[in-house]
Structure 1
Amino acid sequence: MTHVMRNAVFPFPSSPVSKRIHFFQNSKPPMASSSSSSMKVEYAKSNPSSCKLCASEAVVDINFSVSDDKNKYKDATLLPKWKAFQTVIFLERDDGLHDSSKIAAFDFDGCLAKTDVRRVGADAWSLMYPSIPDKLQSLYNDGFKLVIFTNESNIERWKNRRQVAVDSKIGRLNNFIENVKVPIQVFIACGLSKSSRGQAAIKEDDPFRKPKPGMWQLMKQHFNSGISIDMDQSFYVGDAAGRGSDHSDADIKFAEAIGLKFYVPEDYF
């Protein structure tokens, strides 16, 4: 894709690693305020070798059939409408959900919902921003399909309390969707990364765990009715942008690997 850029190139503020972010003219985020900065990770132009790596990672052929999904994740039983495929738990089909060429994708914790790793339970969350329900409803009315891509390694790590971790995560997502009253597709990556603490040595990062693009590819290849995705209109919002106060850079790297416009939630909402 070819984009017209302004001359200015800015690094992420307070980022421990310099990340080149280009600001694009006439590219406002859907439903964002006029003061919000529209950002797209232009890794292709700033780092061609990195782009090549991202592109190769993004092209992942995932073999999936209905017979592959399960009602349990390992020894944990899933709530109705939720299924498991390999290391992913997904919401089978939310009522009213329409597949689309326009994808509005979001992280969950720290983006749509305020949560605390020390608390568990379906009710242990609150809306991150009061504008979220109206913004999501407007996107849905404008023909976007809303999708949540979220990591949840506790489901894999808590081997003796896996059911608690599953019920807590799925319960929060169910309650969030009920609260905002908009159909949303959801994918939860339960696998671990090589850097996971307190685990036996892991040779490779789980291919579905962000920043790997596996969840996106699963949605694109098997959960969008074969509709081609318009990458110019689609975007991703997440809080893990590699800034000084962020817990990681998984979200911005996820957007890079796919080639999506990226926004941090405080700018988007």
Structure 2
Amino acid sequence: MSRNTKDKTENWIQVFDSDAMYMIFTHKKCLPHTSISSFDLDDTLVTTSSGKKFSTSSTDWKFLNGYVVPKLQVFSETSKIVIFTNQKGLTHNGALDDAKCKEFQNRVESISKALEEVGVFIQVFAALEENIYRKPLPAMFDELLVGHNGGLKIDKSTSFYVGDAAGRMERKVKGKKVKKDFSCSDRNFASNLKIKFYTPEEFFLKEAPVSYENDAIDVTKFGRRDTKKTEDILNVNKTHEMVIFVGSPASGKSSFYEKYFKPNGYQWVNQDTLGSKSACLSAARKSIINNSVVIDNTNPSIEIREEYITIANKAGYQVRCVFFDYDKKISFHLNKFRAMVSTKKIPDIAIHSYFKKLELPTIAEGFKEVVKIPFEIDDCFKSAEERELFEMLF
């Protein structure tokens, strides 16, 4: 199976292109409905029959417990049964693994056949890459809404999602220790869709909800950045100076430079553009001659900042620091958003590395001033849809 294709068989639609990689399975008797009863697949509806963490073949599965099928039978009478599942393991470096893909399709068809025998007909959406189709983002649900539900409007008040990635902490169940959930993506998926959410234990076993911790951050709780107030805080003037940025990857430093410093003639030194620290130091020495300059790198350590401060001192320039005082969760959110609307996602390890190395900047290093920039939302979205995407839980 190649990319840049849209293949359709009797039951499957497969979309593999640069912006979307997903598959949709629809049983021929799975009919459109205004109410959607939706579920994750692995460790929610099914688990491995081998006892291993991941299935070893298309037949290595069994229903999670004895309550799954009866419950699906009940809800199939008044709603459409839909499965939304992330299956990035079917790809490698953006390319589809044909063998794994076929095995997954056979497993889905095997599950569908077992449910067909008890009068339950399913539709399955599988996201294959880390993009807007991957939970907790809503594009798979949007795809259902737009093209795979007969044009019917969905009643979200009667729809719900069940999944095991719920952010639950390590806990004991019947005396046995249960590991914390690997993420909160299923809970956040339901939240982004504005539908009810249940864990498998709550839905099938009627267990009470347990405490959880969300690994995403709600950016709607933060204020909007006031441009005039920010300009006043930065106090950009005609005095020649060096400004050293300190901030994590994907924190919007370059956009900040473009908006607040470039219009005032500040030169720009950036390692992503120049390629190495030595090139940045060389550019700083040249740029600072009769110019103000911004060092737009992460600059987490005192040692790195000292090299630039020395250059400024030799030129007789004052040095200020602009510190992007953002929580790590904010950095991850910004990184994921940026990857969806513009540039390639920065590896998570780069963000972890920055925060591990971070030494908080102080005046004692030789700065005239350390300007702290808290996280606030800049109104720089290209559309209402882009803003809506930004405000979702990732």
Q: Give the structure-2-normalised TM-score.
A: 0.44
Q: Tell whether 2:138 aligns with 1:213.
A: yes
Counterpart Cα distance in 2 of 1:239 and 1:100: 25
Q: Tell me the secondary structure at the aligned position of residue 232 of structure 1.
A: helix
Counterpart among 112, 127, 131 of residue 189 in structure 1: 127
Number of the residue aligned with 2:163: 238
Contact 1:132/1:180 (CA < 8 Å) preserved in 2?
Answer: no
Structure 1 runs of 4+ with >4 Å offset: 158-161
Contact 1:120/1:165 (CA < 8 Å) preserved in 2?
Answer: no
Q: Tell me the secondary structure at the aligned position of residue 176 of structure 1.
A: helix
Are residues 225 and 164 of structure 1, via their aligned partners in 2, closer, same or farther at CA, if it must alter by over 3 Å? same
The C-alpha deviation readout for 1:53-93, integer Å capped at 9, x for no partner, is xxxxxxxxxxxxxxx7315xxxxxxx7521212311111x3
Contact 1:155/1:165 (CA < 8 Å) preserved in 2?
Answer: yes
Contact 1:237/1:264 (CA < 8 Å) preserved in 2?
Answer: yes
Q: Aligned letter for 1:156?
A: T
Counterpart Cα distance in 2 of 1:207 and 1:117: 26
Q: Tell whether 2:72 aligns with 1:136.
A: yes
Contact 1:100/1:227 (CA < 8 Å) preserved in 2?
Answer: yes
Contact 2:36/2:159 (CA < 8 Å) preserved in 1?
Answer: yes
Number of the residue aligned with 1:35: none
CA RMSD, 1 decimal: 2.1
Contact 1:121/1:167 (CA < 8 Å) preserved in 2?
Answer: no
Number of the residue aligned with 2:198: 263
Counterpart Cα distance in 1 of 2:186 and 2:165: 5
Counterpart Cα distance in 2 of 1:149 and 1:160: 21
Counterpart Cα distance in 1 of 2:23 and 2:39: 16
Counterpart among 14, 17, 37 of residue 84 in structure 1: 14
Number of the residue aligned with 1:26: none
The C-alpha deviation readout for 1:25-78, integer Å capped at 9, x for no partner, is xxxxxxxxxxxxxxxxxxxxxxxxxxxxxxxxxxxxxxxxxxx7315xxxxxxx
Q: Aligned letter for 1:265?
A: P
Counterpart among 13, 25, 42 of residue 109 in structure 1: 42
The structure with more helix, counted as a fraction of residues: 2
Are residues 191 and 117 of structure 1, via their aligned partners in 2, closer, same or farther at CA, if it must alter by over 3 Å? farther
Counterpart among 162, 166, 182 of residue 97 in structure 2: 162
Counterpart Cα distance in 2 of 1:100 and 1:111: 22
Contact 2:7/2:14 (CA < 8 Å) preserved in 1?
Answer: yes
Aligned length: 181
Number of the residue aligned with 1:177: 112
Q: Tell me the secondary structure at the aligned position of residue 236 of structure 1.
A: strand
Contact 2:40/2:164 (CA < 8 Å) preserved in 1?
Answer: yes
Are residues 160 and 180 of structure 1, via their aligned partners in 2, closer, same or farther at CA, if it must alter by over 3 Å? same
Are residues 164 and 120 of structure 1, via their aligned partners in 2, closer, same or farther at CA, if it must alter by over 3 Å? farther
Contact 1:107/1:237 (CA < 8 Å) preserved in 2?
Answer: yes
Are residues 159 and 207 of structure 1, via their aligned partners in 2, closer, same or farther at CA, if it must alter by over 3 Å? closer
How far is 1:146 from its partner?
Answer: 0.5
Counterpart Cα distance in 2 of 1:123 and 1:158: 27
* Long gaps (5+) in structure 1: 1-67, 72-78, 193-205
Paired residues for 1:198-209 under 5 Å: 206-209=131-134
How far is 1:118 from its partner?
Answer: 4.4
Q: Tell me the secondary structure at the aligned position of residue 146 of structure 1.
A: strand
Are residues 255 and 159 of structure 1, via their aligned partners in 2, closer, same or farther at CA, if it must alter by over 3 Å? closer
Q: Tell whether 2:30 aligns with 1:100.
A: no
Q: Tell me the secondary structure at the aligned position of residue 105 of structure 1.
A: strand
Moved more, 167-176 or 258-267: 167-176
The C-alpha deviation readout for 1:5-40, integer Å capped at 9, x for no partner, is xxxxxxxxxxxxxxxxxxxxxxxxxxxxxxxxxxxx
Q: Tell me the secondary structure at the aligned position of residue 133 of structure 1.
A: helix
Identity, % of aligned positions: 30
Number of the residue aligned with 1:69: 6
* Long gaps (5+) in structure 2: 170-179, 205-394
Q: Tell me the secondary structure at the aligned position of residue 110 of structure 1.
A: coil
Contact 1:158/1:165 (CA < 8 Å) preserved in 2?
Answer: no
Q: Give the structure-1-normalised TM-score.
A: 0.63
Are residues 237 and 118 of structure 1, via their aligned partners in 2, closer, same or farther at CA, if it must alter by over 3 Å? closer
Q: Tell me the secondary structure at the aligned position of residue 192 of structure 2.
A: helix
The C-alpha deviation readout for 1:74-122, integer Å capped at 9, x for no partner, is xxxxx7521212311111x312111011000000001001134544211
Counterpart Cα distance in 2 of 1:168 and 1:158: 19
